[in-house]
Structure 1
Amino acid sequence: MLTATLYGLGTALPLLIGAAIGLRYDLPRPVLAALMAFGAGTMVAAVSTELFQPAFETEGIWTAGAALFAGALVYVVADRLIENKLGAGALGWALMLGSLLDGIPENTALGVTISSAGGVVLLVAVAVGNVPEAVAGAASMRSQPNFNRSRALSVWAATAVLLVLVVIAADAVADTISDSAIATVQAFAGGATIAVLADSLMPEAYREGGWWVGLSTALGFLVAFGLGA
């Protein structure tokens, strides 16, 4: 349980630190854009190598593809509801939702592979991606009318705690979870991540930074891919 707790903290603390930075400091727009683009690059690498590919190899294109589209659908619908409710302040909450929707399946997979080298690779990839995603999401929350820093930080903290508990729970029941089930949740996480990128993270990075953010995205992909190689 101690190892599972440490792994969970390894994914949750970067998320919480990133959120605290985004909520506390008024980052220059180019810096925020670079962080969002870098995070997008790490997420592209995670989807292709750590999430969808294992699901495809285990379950095939139809099952993995269905789970992928289910993850994307859940995020798109939830994001639309948030946007209708919050308007200008929706982006930050949408990114936090993305952290939750892809974080739960990722941390489930992490918990059940905690004793293998693959678990370490996934841990590093998730931790690297969580910081810029949380910084960008938390910073964007500040544009919401009636913004409350303490309330926003509490929500991010609750998300971080939940992700730790997911790792611990998955580790505890690892022997009872089938490879098929893990593959399904990995593909679901991949779909949610792709939707986060397409609907929220990459458009906002381009809007804030302009043409050069593609370079930061490529760097993020290279870093995450290199860590997983």
Structure 2
Amino acid sequence: MNAFGAALYGLGTALPLVIGAAVGLRWSLPRRVLAAMMAFGAGTMIAAVSSELFEPAFTQSGIVIAGAALFAGAGVYVVANHLIENRLGPAAIGWALMLGTVLDGVPENTALGVSLTSGGGLVLLVAVAVGNVPEAVGGAALMRDQHNFGRARALGLWSVTAAVLVLVTVVGFLLSDAIPATGISAVQAFAGGATLAVLADSLMPEAYRDGGWWVGMATAAGFLVAFGLG
């Protein structure tokens, strides 16, 4: 594995963002379809948080460090999301989904880059990529419908986000030897906490609101797919 290979892994998580944003901006998907996609993505991320992010952090550094980083990740997202909601009101969900993509994507992709040095990362890659699609579809569509974003502007914002994810994957890979084990654990647990907060505050409530009670089955399907890959 080299830096080019790490960039390809990063691209594998980032490209779904651009594709999802383009779909969300071009077509108005049925609300139930979008809800099912969000719920499926939530299920994959639940599996990724437990098996690919928090568990290795807990095993490496213990409950104190891993738990503190988990709460830090959740807290950063919750506070930032609250500030956005106070400024934009209920229509802020589109911005919230983009914020969640950044806050959980940066440490996730950093952890992905680090894990590539030991031959891992495939499960996390798939889970993040699957989870990114509905976030981008839903976030871009809501930016268009509730914030009157032009397609070019919204797609540009999501493309910049995607480029950042590729960059941090490569940086994580290149710095893997210099990052102490405790630091890696903190990054992993922080990503897990931010992801859980995104799911609880934004993605899953929106999926349930638009899709109803049956989206629980889509969430279970997403969890099973990601768990099976692990």
Is the pair's TM-score, using the shorter chain for normalization, greater than 0.5?
yes
TM-score, scaled relative to structure 1: 0.96
What's the CA shift for 1:89? Answer: 2.7
Which residue among 183, 193, 196 is the counterpart of 1:194?
196
Separation in 2 of the partners of 1:70 and 1:195? Answer: 11
Residue in 2 that maps onto 1:98: 100
Alignment of 1:145 with 2:147, yes or no, is: yes
Contact 1:41 1:220 in 2 (8 A): yes
Alignment of 1:185 with 2:187, yes or no, is: yes
The change in CA–CA distance for 1:89 and 1:153 in structure 2 (over 3 A counts) is farther
Separation in 1 of the partners of 2:14 and 2:176? Answer: 20
Residue in 1 that maps onto 2:178: 176
1:40-79 equivalent positions in 2, closer than 5 A = 40-79=42-81
Q: For structure 2, which runs of at least 5 residues remain unmatched after alignment?
A: none
Separation in 2 of the partners of 1:203 and 1:10? Answer: 27
Residue in 1 that maps onto 2:114: 112
Percentage of pairs with the same residue:
71
The change in CA–CA distance for 1:27 and 1:171 in structure 2 (over 3 A counts) is same
Contact 1:205 1:213 in 2 (8 A): yes
1:180 alignment partner AA: T
Contact 1:89 1:142 in 2 (8 A): no
1:154-165 equivalent positions in 2, closer than 5 A = 154-165=156-167
Residue in 1 that maps onto 2:11: 9
1:121-136 equivalent positions in 2, closer than 5 A = 121-136=123-138
Larger deviation, residues 82-91 vs 163-172: 82-91
Secondary structure of the residue aligned to 1:118 is coil
Separation in 2 of the partners of 1:107 and 1:166? Answer: 6
1:70 alignment partner AA: A
Residue in 2 that maps onto 1:23: 25
* Aligned-CA RMSD value: 1.2
Larger deviation, residues 140-149 vs 205-214: 140-149
Separation in 1 of the partners of 2:148 and 2:97? Answer: 19
Secondary structure of the residue aligned to 2:145 is coil
Separation in 2 of the partners of 1:28 and 1:142? Answer: 15
